[in-house]
A and B are shown apart, each in its own frame.
Chain A
Amino acid sequence: MTLKLDARSPSGPIEQQWSSARFDLKLVNPANKRKYKVIVVGSGLAGGAAAATLAELGYDVACFCFQDSPRRAHSIAAQGGINAAKNYQNDGDSVHRLFYDTVKGGDFRARESNVHRLAEVSVDIIDQCAAMGVPFAREYGGTLANRSFGGAQVSRTFYARGQTGQQLLLGVYSALSRQIGVGKVKMFPRTEMLDVVVDPATGRAIGVVIRDLVTGTITSYAAHAVILATGGYGNAFYLSTNAKGCNVTATYRAFKRGAGFANPCFTQIHPTCIPVSGDYQSKLTLMSESLRNDGRVWVPKSTGDIAKHPDQIPDSARDYYLERKYPSYGNLSPRDIASRAAKEQCDEGRGVGPGGRGVYLDFRDAIRRDGEDKVRDKYGNLFDMYERITGENPYKVPMRIYPAVHYTMGGLWVDYHLQTTVPGLFCLGEANFSDHGANRLGASALMQGLADGYFIISYTLGHYLAGVAAKDLADPAGPLFKRAEVDVSAKLDKLTSVRGKRSVDSFHKELGQLMWENCGMARSKQSLTEALAKIPALRDEFWRDVTVLGSRDSFNQSLEKAGRVADFLEFAELMCKDALVREESCGGHFRVEHQVEGEAKRDDDKFCHAAVWEYTGEGGEPIRNIEPLVFDNVKLATRSYK
């Protein structure tokens, strides 16, 4: 059996597809909307916005999140900004240019129709957020301010100091709270989705199984449609810029219930993170890419200088390698390119800091040019954060940065309606695969999350529900749900009953190290084959020797982690398989066998498609399906930032 991958992209000129789709999509009678139950898993920009918007429209919404409040979803940590094709700066931006930049930046591995729609609704997002009280940065005249951001040559990024994600999420949270207050959304914080229930008779998603993280109670919830907005899987690498709780469990378990998983090997490594300082390290902290507007990246030219204080290295002995290699983009080169360039310098022995895994991000020239006050005005909170973490003052000593896992472009395959291969199961935000191709541009994640949640699902979900009778709500006490509850409980019991010798974290760290070495910034047939041999062995050891203390019917953080790590131990294999088959380099996926003078070499003849993996049962080989990608509007070309 293979998956049916109908993208349902509208026909006609790309500029008119979304408006014609909006007319063609069926509507649900306003009086009937309240009869439809919709489950939203995740309360970040995508999930929170979807839950609030659908409730405003009249649907009966239940929203689940694992944090203690929807206000804490990981969207909150985004620093730099949100893109929109407003062209307020009169610098040549347009919907078409944002569309073009996103397709090209994604290295031609995204679906054109979805990306164009994203660029179109970007302008509405800014209006909506401003109306909801997001305190965007302003010019003296009171209009909105913009800045340019990694990989873009126009100023289209809107921001709220270095806390844009926080402010956008608080906007979403306020809209969601309003609906909670009037009883239109039932919110379930401190809960985790452990299974999606699919009716084998119709193939449709009919509900979810949830664990209450405080009491440990397992409960089923039925709905007419289920929306997953559960974020990315960067924590497969253990160390990443993701929050500690971020996980693949919801999307991976949906995969096991029939949802195709697209391009799992597409992971983004962010170039500007604070380097690892020791083996106790629990997460990596991002330093906003906006710093690259004024900071200059360099390493000593000579390996003999790496231990010297940077002040003692004159300009003539410094290699500003991004400016040298990519003169037109320089320090603003896209993330994948800047990350690989840093790795290359460190691999050649010119890295600085512990283990030689760091490059300098230096503000000396910006401070000389604009003064320390101006620099503090722009980046003060980031400089403070850096100093708190490293104990070093970046006004005096250049920052040290190194790439770290940051975002995952892969995710559940969705069509133009954001529906997965399981009817009635939708996927939004980072959790889906659709818009960023093989590499995401800076300030585009917030845009996509809000586009999906505020402006897209509200139309496409109605189209689906118009074809479902309101009376056809599954019975959460029925046998399908009971069976899923039994499966979920059995897995939890298995985790608590191993009582081995190793902690969950020790397995997670080992997996992360293995993935970083073998399926990280550079991948090869050899490294991936090695990982594919080691992961199953590590997984076996996990199930033999993990220890999870405490019971499953209580608040048990070790058990939460254990379930997530168990899923990462399976999912990591899918990532490596996908990376192994994709015999090309594109965007964040760099296969060392496929390069020209150190730059990624795509193979459009063989790989101009999304790879969509299909689960075939415990121990079965997953099947790789293909959605061919057609580029009618942006000509396939080699990305060049030189």
Chain B
Amino acid sequence: MSADHSSGAAGTHTLSLKLHVWRQPDRSATGKMVTYTVAGVSTHASFLEMLDILNEQLIANGEEPVAFDHDCREGICGMCSLMINGRPHGGRRGTTTCQLHMRVFNDGDEIWIEPWRAHAFPVIKDLCVDRSAFDRVIATGGFITANTGSAPDANDNLVSKDQAERSMDAAACIGCGACVAACPNGSAMLFVAAKLAHLHHLPQGQPERLHRTQAMVTAMDAAGFGNCSNHYECEAACPKDISRDVIAMMNRDYAKSALVARDRDSKSDGSG
């Protein structure tokens, strides 16, 4: 795309679009695709701004606007979702829905917009789903036990630059759920494994490593996520480019944990 500096912004024009949007009044209701048209959408608008335009149009016509989750609109909070033409976040590499801009669409395009489809993510309304299953998994082990105030000096624990970088690569996960939505089995392996890899690339994460892996994998299964059958759609859909390597790390640890992990909760606190 060439930069036109007389207008100061790269080649602006407007689009007319036909949208097919999933409408569902609440969790128990039956949903359906509804077709709308929007016109005059600037190619510089973001995808969510295009939906804002649609909603303003609906409100003006006395129709309830389309519910969709969003918050930071800069690709970091993980609140936005949406299957766009069958791909989570629209399928552009390393891009969340809020960062997807209309310049990638053409005038006259038809766009299908649906919520995440996964057993563990029930629809709340229209395009909003309930992702609290992720929180439940994290609450079983996605942390390092370190009460406030109990930490040694930060430089007492040396972390090689390489380990810190690999930890950060996994920690970049925004918990949006695209990996689950992309997976034919609705599996959360990439999400769970990313959290484990973030902690397990660091020395601080080692003491609880096997227990954590076992607890989170168990919670993941209990939350209704499917199993991994190595499609790696998750990796392709991840807006933060989390590598599937994290899954291999998790599987190794899980196998080890089955062999050696003791249930620490069944042991005494050390006093007896």
Question: Chain A residues in contact with chain B, CB under 8 A?
Answer: 49, 52-53, 56, 67-72, 74, 76-77, 86, 88, 124, 126-133, 135-144, 160-161, 163, 165-167, 170, 173-175, 177-178, 180-181, 187, 189, 214, 243-245, 277-278, 280-283, 285-286, 307-310, 352-354, 358, 384-385, 388-392, 397, 400, 454-455, 458, 503, 505-506, 547, 549-550, 554-555, 557-558
Contacts and interface: CB of A to CB of B under 8 A. Distances in A.
Contact of A138 (B46, B99, B160): B160
11 contacts: A71-B175, A74-B71, A76-B76, A77-B74, A88-B155, A127-B151, A131-B157, A142-B161, A280-B41, A354-B7, A549-B59
Interface in B150-165: 150-155, 157-161, 164
A550 B60 CA distance: 14
A124 B149 contact: yes
B143 A244 contact: no
A505 B56 contact: yes
Contacts of B56: 503, 505-506
Contacts, number: 248
A549 B204 contact: no
Given A130-B204, A138-B160, A389 B135 contact: no
Contacts of B223: none
Given A141-B158, A503-B56, A133 B150 contact: no
A162 B135 CA distance: 24
Contacts of B19: none
A471 to B, nearest CB: 28
Contact of A131 (B5, B67, B204): B204
User: What 3 A-B pairs are tightest by C-beta distance, nearest first?
Assistant: A142-B158, A353-B8, A131-B151
Contacts of A245: 71
Interface stretch (B106-114, B123-131, B182-190, B245-253): B123-131
A302 to B, nearest CB: 15
Contact of B157 (A88, A130, A214, A557): A130
Given A72-B77, A77-B74, A132-B204, A161 B168 contact: yes
A173 B204 contact: no
B148 A455 contact: yes
A243 B73 contact: yes
B64 interface: yes
A178 B212 CA distance: 12
Nearest to B141: A181
A69 B132 contact: yes
Given A131-B146, A133-B202, A136-B164, A505 B52 contact: yes
A392 B3 contact: yes
Contacts of A547: 59
Given A69-B135, A555-B128, 5 more contacts: A138-B164, A352-B5, A389-B46, A390-B10, A455-B149
Contacts of A170: 171
Contact of B139 (A133, A181, A277, A384): A181
Please classify the interface of chain B as helix (H, G, I), strand (E, B), loop, or mixed, using the class held by over half of its residues. Answer: loop
B155 A143 contact: yes
A124 B167 CA distance: 22
Contact of A214 (B9, B74, B103, B124): B124
Contacts of B60: 503
A277 B9 contact: yes
A203 to B, nearest CB: 30
B125 A555 contact: yes
Interface centre among A189, A277, A352 (most CB of B within 10 A): A277
A76 B77 contact: yes
A128 B151 contact: yes
B202 A135 contact: yes
Contacts of B124: 214, 555
B44 A392 contact: no
A69 B131 contact: yes
B160 A354 contact: no
A243 B71 contact: yes
B270 interface: no
B148 A175 contact: yes
Given A142-B158, A280-B42, A77 B76 contact: yes
B77 A74 contact: yes
A180 B143 CA distance: 12
A400 B4 CA distance: 13
Contacts of B69: 68
Contacts of A243: 71-73, 77
B180 to A, nearest CB: 14
Given A503-B56, A549-B59, A281 B199 contact: no
Interface string B18-61: 00000001100000000000000110111011001101100110
B70 to A, nearest CB: 6
* Most chain A beta-carbon neighbours within 10 Å: one of B69, B148, B159, B168: B148
Contact of B78 (A72, A74, A88, A558): A72
Contacts of B158: 141-143
B138 A173 contact: yes
Contacts of A353: 8-9
A129 B95 CA distance: 28
A511 to B, nearest CB: 16
A174 B154 contact: no
B225 interface: no
A527 B103 CA distance: 38
Contact of B154 (A127, A283, A309, A352): A127
A324 B73 CA distance: 35
Contacts of A167: 168, 171
Nearest to B148: A53
Interface in B164-212: 164, 167-168, 171-172, 174-175, 198-199, 201-202, 204-205
A550 B143 contact: no
B163 to A, nearest CB: 8
A178 B143 contact: yes
A189 B152 CA distance: 33
Contact of A549 (B49, B65, B168): B65
Contacts of A165: 76
Contacts of A131: 144, 146, 150-152, 154, 157, 204
Contact of B159 (A142, A178, A388, A455): A142
A353 B12 CA distance: 13
Nearest to A140: B161
Contacts of A388: 95, 99, 101
Nearest to B175: A71
Contacts of A88: 155
Q: Which of A124, A170, A285 has the most CB of B within 10 A?
A: A170
B94 interface: yes
Contacts of A397: 3
B6 interface: yes
A180 B132 CA distance: 13
Given A167-B171, A177-B143, A390 B9 contact: yes
A107 B106 CA distance: 51
Contact of B26 (A136, A144, A554): A554
B147 interface: yes
Contact of A282 (B52, B144, B167, B205): B52
B215 to A, nearest CB: 9
A53 B151 CA distance: 13
A76 B148 contact: no
A141 B168 CA distance: 17
Nearest to A158: B154
